[in-house]
Structure 1
Amino acid sequence: MSFLILEYVSTVRADRSGLIDTLSDAGGLTDWAGKHAAELGLDPGFRATEESRRETVRLRQAVRALFARAVAPGPPSRADAGALPGFEEALAQVNADALAAPTAPRLSWDGDGEPGLHTVVAVPTDASVRLRARLAAAAMELLAGPDRTLLRTCQAPRCVLYFIKEHPRQEWCSTACGNRARAARHYREHKK
């Protein structure tokens, strides 16, 4: 689930022209959620409304605020550091969204095979609420788990992404960002 939450917070990214928000409209959320429907427990036909998009972006900002706190004393993502809610507000938002669609374990067993344990929503809820609850739970799992200490902000020029440091020497979210950072450093050193 940590990769899902990283993809979610990375719906704000940068390119040469500036910041890009994949969730800037209801269609963007519909497309993004459709690509992750199985992981999110959504029907592949999920259609976002403008209200559900606003609420999902609000949750994303709260998660990004908690990520900014988790990477401290390192710098937060430059994408939206000034527009993030305060720590207490972000924490309350994530907790509230997770509680909006409580889950429970469910045992399935066809009698002949092995039993299986699945997580299901405990009370009927709207698909948009389930989407946010699953994302909030994924954020909680990352922030309360061992990967939190590996959470980093990419320091490459123009990059605004968070990533999990998978190698002791890893400094950037991708090879492309590493190349861009080295090229920028080379340019600065030889410009003088």
Structure 2
Amino acid sequence: MLAFNLAATIRHDGQGGVADLLATDAGLGSWLEENGPLASVVLGHSLDASALAVNEILRQALTGVRRAVRSLFARAVSPAPPSRADANQLLEVEAALAVLNKAADKLGTAHLVWPSDGAPASRWSGRSTDPAALLVGAVGRSGIDFLLGPDRVRLRACPAARCVKYFLQDDPRQTWCSPSCGNRERVNRHYQRKHST
């Protein structure tokens, strides 16, 4: 869910535009604090989020991976339209795959180990100890795991007029990401019907 949470840092701003929750140092720091435990789960060991420097380099790395994740989410919900937030900024599929795979590659690779007194096993061989690289790698790995996992078929882009979210459909009748989006759409349709005659 780490990559899903990163994708959700693009939101409707309440005024017809889009808000990027990572655009400020405070927003980025808050996201890191909230999602550090999820990154630790992906990594299989604790990630000290306090060791991460909130700076433009980290912001650019995360927003680049976010763009790739949202591009692949758009493909996953196809033929339904993608989120309106960034439909005109989506990467081509091959480019998005390259970005996501490069991010995940920062974690390292699995190596085969075979002790003389035991069975063969896999041991993770890391490529970095840099917390920023590990975080970006964890997001990449999380995105890959999500898109390969069972939740991908539940992924939807909210069709509400001012919503920019992707969500996981909990019920086959669920159309919107939240009751407030559904209510807004019903009010909007009622208004359109009433004023179009």
TM-score by length of 1: 0.85
Equivalent residue for 1:30?
Answer: 29
- Whole-angstrom distance in 2 between the partners of 1:166 and 1:97: 29
- The residue matched to 2:49 in structure 1 has which SS? coil
- Whole-angstrom distance in 2 between the partners of 1:44 and 1:92: 26
Deviation of the 1:121 alpha carbon: 7.0
Equivalent residue for 2:68?
Answer: 62
Aligned mate of 2:182, from 175, 178, 181? 178
1:187 aligns with 2:194: no
- Whole-angstrom distance in 2 between the partners of 1:47 and 1:24: 15
Taking the TM superposition and a 5 Å limit, the aligned residue runs for 1:152-167 are 152-167=156-171
Among the aligned pairs, what percent are the same residue? 41
TM-score by length of 2: 0.83
Deviation of the 1:57 alpha carbon: 0.3
Equivalent residue for 1:146?
Answer: 150
Deviation of the 1:144 alpha carbon: 0.8
Taking the TM superposition and a 5 Å limit, the aligned residue runs for 1:108-123 are 122-123=126-127
Contact 1:48/1:128 (<8 A) preserved: no
1:82 aligns with 2:80: no
Deviation of the 1:102 alpha carbon: 2.4
Q: Which amino acid aligns with 1:28?
A: G
Equivalent residue for 1:110?
Answer: none
Contact 2:12/2:164 (<8 A) preserved: yes
Q: Which amino acid aligns with 2:73?
A: F
Equivalent residue for 1:94?
Answer: 100
Contact 2:49/2:131 (<8 A) preserved: no
- The residue matched to 1:169 in structure 2 has which SS? coil
Equivalent residue for 1:44?
Answer: 49
Aligned pair count? 177
Is the alpha carbon distance of 1:80 and 1:12 closer, same or farther for their aligned partners in structure 2, counting shifts above 3 Å?
same
Which ranges of structure 1 fall in alignment gaps of 5 or more residues?
Answer: 106-118
Deviation of the 1:103 alpha carbon: 6.2
Equivalent residue for 2:5?
Answer: 7
Contact 1:101/1:125 (<8 A) preserved: no
Deviation of the 1:136 alpha carbon: 1.1
Q: Which runs of 4+ in 1 moved over 4 A?
A: none
Is the alpha carbon distance of 1:185 and 1:78 closer, same or farther for their aligned partners in structure 2, counting shifts above 3 Å?
same
| Greater Cα offset, 130-139 or 162-171 | 130-139
| Greater Cα offset, 169-178 or 12-21 | 12-21
- Whole-angstrom distance in 1 between the partners of 2:4 and 2:35: 13
Q: Which amino acid aligns with 2:12?
A: A
The two structures, once aligned, show a CA RMSD in angstroms of 1.9
Equivalent residue for 1:53?
Answer: 59
1:71 aligns with 2:77: yes
1:133 aligns with 2:137: yes
Deviation of the 1:44 alpha carbon: 3.5
